[in-house]
A and B are shown apart, each in its own frame.
Chain A
C-alpha cells in the first residue's frame, strides 16, 4: 500500500472497505465520525498546537457507505447501522427494551460530539472505559453484525468486547441488532461531577424481562469502573423474582455490583469512590423501570 501517513481513503461500498482494511493490516483502521481517533491522538501528543496530522495510521473512511446507515424497527427489535450518531440514536422511539440505549445516547457528552460520534465507533474504540453506549448495549443483549474478508458473522456484544483486538483485519461492525421481546424494559443512569458535558464516574444500564410485573430475567451492566464495561451477573440475580422497580432488590443489586467489580484508579476519581456511588446510581436506574413495560 502506498497510502501516506495521515491519508484517509474514501470508499463507497462495504466490499471496498473490507478489502482496503484487510490489505492495510495492522497499519490500517476504520474512520467513522473520528471523534475518538482525533482525541486519542491529541492526548498521545502526536499533534502539534496548530493542528497537524494527528495519527500515524492509515484510515479508511466509512462515511459514504450506505449499508452502514439507517435503521429498521420491527416487532422483534431495532436494527441500526454502525454509522448512526448518538444524536440519531437519541431520536429513535424504540420502546422500553431500547430505552437504556436511547438515554445513554441522549446523555452522553454534548451536542458537538453527539452529532458526530457513531455507535460503531463507540463499540470499536479501545481504551475508552467511560463510553456510555456500551453498558446500555450489554444490558440490552445487543448483537453485532460483522462483515469481514471471510463473510458475515453475528456476535453478542459481550463476546465481542474482550476480543476486539484479536478480530481479523478487514472486519467491520456493520449493524447492531437490539432485541425487543415482550415484557422487557430498561433504564440507564450516569454520574458526572458537572451536570453534563463530561465523562461519567460510573454509568449503569438495567434491562429486565417481566411476567405480570415480576422480574424473570435481568441484566445489569456497569461502565467506567473497570477498563471495559461489563455485565454484573451477581447484581442482576438480586432483581430476579422481585417486582420490577423494587427498591430493596435494587439496593441488594447495588451492593452485589460493587462487590463483583475491580475499580480502576484515575485522575478524575479514585476507585473506592466509583464503587461508593454505584449502588445509589443503580437504585436510580431500577426506580425508572416501569412496573409494566
Chain B
C-alpha cells in the first residue's frame, strides 16, 4: 500500500520503500526540486522542509514516517507569479540570497520560526539557523531579513 500524505496542501502518494529519504520522493517522484540534497546526512539543512509545521532534515526523514503528514516545501510558499511571502521578499530586498543553494532550506526554517515565534532578536534567529549552513557565509543579511520580515508581519503588511 503506498504511503500517502499532502505536499503543499495537495494529496500525494509514493510506493517507494519506507526507508527512502523524503527528499528523494519530493525531488525525483514529485518533481519538487527546491529542497537540495547536499550533505545527505543531516548537517547542512539544504534539504529542510516542514513536516506537520516543524522543520526537518528531509534527507534523514524516512518516507514511512511521512505517511498521513502535511509536508510543506519552498514551492508551496508563493504561487507562480504571485506575491512572495514576507520572509522571501525580505531576503530578496536585503541581499540575503547569494548563490542560492541553501536558501530553499533556510526559507523553510525561517517560515516555521516566523509562524511560531512572537518576539525575535538577532540571537534567537541565529539559534534557529544553527542547522542551515550558508557556504557564501551570508548569515548577517539573512538574519537582518528575518528580523525585517518579522516586523512586517507584526505590522500586518509586507515590507
Contact = CB atoms under 8 A, between A and B. Distances in A.
A179 B18 CA distance: 37
B89 to A, nearest CB: 23
A8 B130 contact: no
Contact of B18 (A39, A42, A59): A59
A183 to B, nearest CB: 32
Given A6-B17, A55-B19, A115 B56 contact: yes
A51 B23 contact: yes
A38 B42 contact: yes
A6 B130 contact: no
Contacts of A50: 24, 28, 37
Contacts of A113: 42, 57, 60, 131
A197 interface: yes
Given A34-B60, A39-B60, A111 B55 contact: yes
Contact of A116 (B24, B60, B67, B130): B60
A52 B20 CA distance: 6
B54 interface: yes
Interface in B6-30: 17-21, 23-24, 28
B124 to A, nearest CB: 11
Name the residue in B19, B37, B63 with the highest tally of chain A Cβ atoms < 10 Å from its Cβ: B19
A50 B16 CA distance: 14
B65 interface: yes
Given A8-B19, A39-B42, A51 B24 contact: yes
B17 A7 contact: yes
B76 to A, nearest CB: 18
Interface in A206-225: none
B122 interface: no
Contacts of A87: 54
A112 B18 contact: no
A219 B151 CA distance: 46
A116 B19 contact: no
B119 interface: no
Interface residues of B, number: 32
Nearest to B37: A51
B41 interface: yes
B56 to A, nearest CB: 5
Interface string A34-57: 110111001100010111111100
Contacts of A109: 131
B32 interface: no
A38 B40 CA distance: 9
Given A51-B23, A51-B40, A4 B17 contact: yes
B159 to A, nearest CB: 24
Contacts of A198: 43
B55 A35 contact: no
Nearest to A63: B65
Contacts of A196: 127, 130
Nearest to A195: B130
Given A9-B18, A113-B57, 9 more contacts: A7-B18, A8-B63, A10-B67, A31-B65, A47-B40, A112-B48, A113-B42, A116-B60, A197-B130
17 contacts: A8-B18, A31-B18, A38-B62, A39-B60, A43-B41, A47-B40, A49-B37, A50-B37, A51-B23, A54-B21, A59-B19, A63-B64, A110-B45, A113-B60, A116-B56, A116-B61, A196-B130
The 4 closest A-B pairs by CB, nearest first: A8-B18, A110-B131, A51-B24, A6-B17
Interface of A: 4-10, 31, 33-35, 37-39, 42-43, 47, 49-55, 59, 61, 63, 87, 109-113, 115-116, 195-198
